[in-house]
Amino acid sequence: MIDTKLSSSIPTHTLFRHWRCLVAPFFGAVIVCVISFVQKVKWGGDLPYDLAGYATPSLVGWVAGSFVSIGLWRSRELMLRLQRTSLALKEQAEKKSHVLDSVGEGICEFDADGLCCYANREACRMLGYSSFEMSGKNIFSLFRYHDRYGHEVSLEPLWSHRTFSTQKRDTIYEEILWQREHEIIATEICIYPALNAKDGGILVFRDASVRQEMQSKINFLESHDPLTQLNNKNTFMSELATIIDRVRNQNERYALLLVDIDRFQALYDVLGSYVSDQLLIQYAHFLQRTVAEQDVVARIGGDRFAVLKKVSTDQQARGFAQWLVSESQSFEPVWHLEKVNLTVSVGVKIIEPGDESVDDVFLGAEKACGQAKAEGRSRFKVYNPLAPVYRKLNRQIRALPFIREALHRNLFFLRRQKICPVGNVEPHSDCYEVLLSMQLADGSSLAPEEFLTAAERYDLMPSIDRWVINHCFDWLEEDGERWKNLDFMAINLSGKSFNDPTFLAYLETKLRRATFPAEKICFEITETAAVENEERSVTFIHRIKRFGCRFALDDFGSGMSSFRYLKNFPVDVIKIDGSFIVDMVENELSREIVTSIHNIASALGLKTVAEHAEDQQTLQVLQEIGVDYVQGYVVEKPKVFCSGTAVDSPEPVALRQ
């Protein structure tokens, strides 16, 4: 604020500090004396010849001159103050004008008649007029606006029907402004009333081109993959939902193809991040070139793409999938001098009129793609829910929630089956294998083959193995008589547990805290799980054997079938796979395989166990071969010995197809 008030009193030392303050009183006294002298001469009278005669006129002149001096000085001070105030106001106005000109928004002030009173630099730039041209003109006639649909918009009716809410924004519009030179600028307009709304208002408009450009980029990134510029998964799933409705209502035919680049992780390790990204970009362009304009292509994951293709027949979808596999093999992305040979696995799901769920359609393609990779890659598979391989997979998927519920509600229960010496099959043998079963919420039980493969597939086996070990150890510790006459209890460990870095530490902790001798426990591992990571398996076995535990190599002969592993793995028992035992009475080849496994194991000082011995004829052949132990129904059927909250002995059931 500029203070324009003048002081009502002037200090004496300020008023009389300059010699010029005495000039006016002195000349005033002289002038009065001269006037008095002239009057005396003119009208006659006695002239005073001494100074005393001039005292009164001099005093009067001095006082009069003093008042004149004070008046002049006061006037001068007022003029100086007015000059300084004027300069300050001018400077302040220039600063405000500079601030308004520096704002990135157009600002126009108009009066009650709509005439422009002021326009800043940005307003002049956006409208294409000078401030002189805009001054005094109707502000609304200077604007040419079209909305996003191309219709011309006038702002005057909007202002005429305004609400007089002081100092509040009346309304905002997003329109397209046409400049004087017919250039188009996307703008946002705000209309504000003046302090007294009836005196006019202020029009504020900003260039929204950059914001709209940024918004369009954001919208693009929300619906597209930033690397390949293809549709992303969210957009693709929305398109898939639309296509499902179209197939159902308009009887059109579409196929969903899920494309997975084979062994992309190996390519990434060799080529590095940047070259791998370039490979994905080039393959995305390749896919776009191979499909029709109405087809939809998307990148839905790291190395996975999806295609929604309109087809006339199922055979056309199969032909396109085969062509895509072949063309991908011939596709050679080039980066500098490096050439990459690419193969893909393709899963196909024909979209049927009866398909309701987007997830079900997508999951069908996922299953087909997974099956293509499982069968050797570089091929395509068409999802058929009635095919045996997909029926089995669907059963595993349906078993998954039951497994999680069983872990949460403690619905597993344990059976044990005797393992007896071949020459002395007695029911009082103190060797047995622990078998896991699972109860459903309705009281029925699920057969092991129904849920163990699903648990293995979905990485739940480490949790299940922990459940089994916890309950077996607790059962042995509840009663000391249970383990005193026990030779060993065989507990199965999955390959997933071997590869779980936390499982070894967990098992070592359990063995340290156990109140029974560790040699009472024999852990069974499958041949396939053991050789999957040979070094880690050997380390695992050595560390657990320090506590005194024994190890058995389960299902030997069903996996890699290499006798070299018998030499490298520090196991104590070989369990011959039951597939060779069940038909060895009639099958000479199976008998010879069992004989060779037993002979090699004996040469290495290992015991052998024959699984799935079902009858006396099989038992007699095993005695002739000299196998050490036998397990199966010929000894006894499995019996429940430990359960969570499950019933004693529910009958196993199978999941519906």
Query: What confidence tens digit (pLDDT) does each residue in 470-526 have?
Result: 999 999 998 888 888 888 999 999 888 888 889 999 999 999 999 999 999 999 988
Q: Which of 250, 312, 252, 305 is nearest to 282 (CA)?
A: 305
The better pLDDT of the pair 313, 569 is held by 313
- Residue 46: how many other CB atoms lie within 10 Å: 7
Res 100: pLDDT: 80
Res 255: pLDDT: 93
Same domain, 209 and 245: no
Same domain, 251 and 156: no
**Position 11 in a domain:** no
Res 559: pLDDT: 58
Point out the least confidently predicted range of 1-5, 92-96, 227-231. Answer: 1-5
Distances (CA, A) of 291 to 224, 257, 307, 311, 425: 18, 12, 8, 11, 69
Split into its structural domains, the chain has a count of: 3
**Separation of alpha carbons 250 and 241, rounded Å:** 14
Res 350: pLDDT: 92
pLDDT at 347 > cutoff 90: yes
**Position 638 in a domain:** yes
Res 657: pLDDT: 44
pLDDT at 320 > cutoff 90: yes
| DSSP structure class, residue 385 | T
Q: Tell me the pairing of strands 550-556 and 573-576.
A: parallel
Same domain, 231 and 209: no
Burial (CB count <10 Å: 0-12, 13-18, 19+), residue 252 = middle
- SS3 for 414? strand
Res 454: pLDDT: 84
Res 297: pLDDT: 94
Q: DSSP strand E in 51-124: where?
A: 105-111, 116-119
pLDDT at 216 > cutoff 90: no
Contact in structure between 469 and 476 (CB atoms under 8 Å)? no
**CATH, residue 140:** 3.30.450.20
Point out the least confidently predicted range of 109-123, 173-187, 319-333, 535-549. Answer: 173-187
Point out the least confidently predicted range of 55-69, 139-153, 170-184, 628-642. Answer: 170-184
**CA 484 from centre of chain:** 56
Res 155: pLDDT: 64
Q: Which of 274, 273, 351 is nearest to 317 (CA)?
A: 351
Res 89: pLDDT: 85
The better pLDDT of the pair 455, 425 is held by 455
The better pLDDT of the pair 600, 175 is held by 600
**Position 582 in a domain:** yes
Burial (CB count <10 Å: 0-12, 13-18, 19+), residue 542 = exposed
Same domain, 182 and 277: no
In this predicted model, what pLDDT tens digit does every residue of 261-277 receive, in sequence order? 998 888 888 888 888 88
The pLDDT of 426-432, averaged and rounded, is 67
pLDDT at 368 > cutoff 50: yes
pLDDT at 83 > cutoff 70: yes
Same domain, 178 and 261: no
Residues 6 or more apart in contact with residue 599 via CB below 8 angstroms: none
**Position 615 in a domain:** yes
Residues 6 or more apart in contact with residue 73 via CB below 8 angstroms: 15, 21
In this predicted model, what pLDDT tens digit does every residue of 111-154 receive, in sequence order? 888 888 888 888 888 877 888 888 888 877 777 666 666 666 66
In this predicted model, what pLDDT tens digit does every residue of 371-412 receive, in sequence order? 999 888 899 999 988 888 887 777 778 888 888 888 888 888
Torsion of CA 36, 37, 43, 48, to 10 degrees: 100
Same domain, 207 and 236: no
Q: Of 175, 191, 213, which residue is a domain's last?
A: 213
Res 126: pLDDT: 80
- Residue 75: how many other CB atoms lie within 10 Å: 10
The pLDDT of 291-318, averaged and rounded, is 91
Same domain, 351 and 231: yes
Same domain, 612 and 496: yes
The model's confidence at residue 176, banded by pLDDT at 50, 70 and 90, is low
**CATH, residue 285:** 3.30.70.270
Q: Of 183, 213, 243, which residue is a domain's last?
A: 213
Same domain, 198 and 235: no
The token pair at 373 is 């990779």
**Position 100 in a domain:** no
Same domain, 628 and 554: yes
Res 158: pLDDT: 56
**CA 417 from centre of chain:** 49
Range of the domain at 353: 223-385
**Separation of alpha carbons 181 and 128, rounded Å:** 7
Burial (CB count <10 Å: 0-12, 13-18, 19+), residue 265 = exposed
Percent of the chain past pLDDT 70, that is, above it, reads 77
Res 425: pLDDT: 54
For residue 92, which amino acid is it? Q
The pLDDT of 316-338, averaged and rounded, is 82
In this predicted model, what pLDDT tens digit does every residue of 189-215 receive, in sequence order? 777 777 776 778 888 887 777 777 787
The model's confidence at residue 646, banded by pLDDT at 50, 70 and 90, is very low
**Separation of alpha carbons 215 and 210, rounded Å:** 8
Q: What is the CA radius of gyration of the chain?
A: 50
Res 609: pLDDT: 93
Res 652: pLDDT: 46
**Position 95 in a domain:** no
The pLDDT of 167-192, averaged and rounded, is 61
The better pLDDT of the pair 190, 288 is held by 288
Res 647: pLDDT: 47
**Separation of alpha carbons 268 and 137, rounded Å:** 67
Average predicted confidence (pLDDT) for the chain: 80
| DSSP structure class, residue 138 | B
| Helices 388-409 and 461-478, packing angle to 10 deg | 50
**Separation of alpha carbons 368 and 257, rounded Å:** 9
**Position 346 in a domain:** yes
Distances (CA, A) of 46 to 31, 40, 43, 654: 19, 7, 10, 153
The token pair at 306 is 């999806």
Res 76: pLDDT: 76
Res 655: pLDDT: 46
Same domain, 423 and 375: no
Highest mean pLDDT among 20-34, 61-75, 340-354: 340-354
**Position 479 in a domain:** yes
Res 170: pLDDT: 46
Same domain, 256 and 344: yes
| DSSP structure class, residue 341 | -
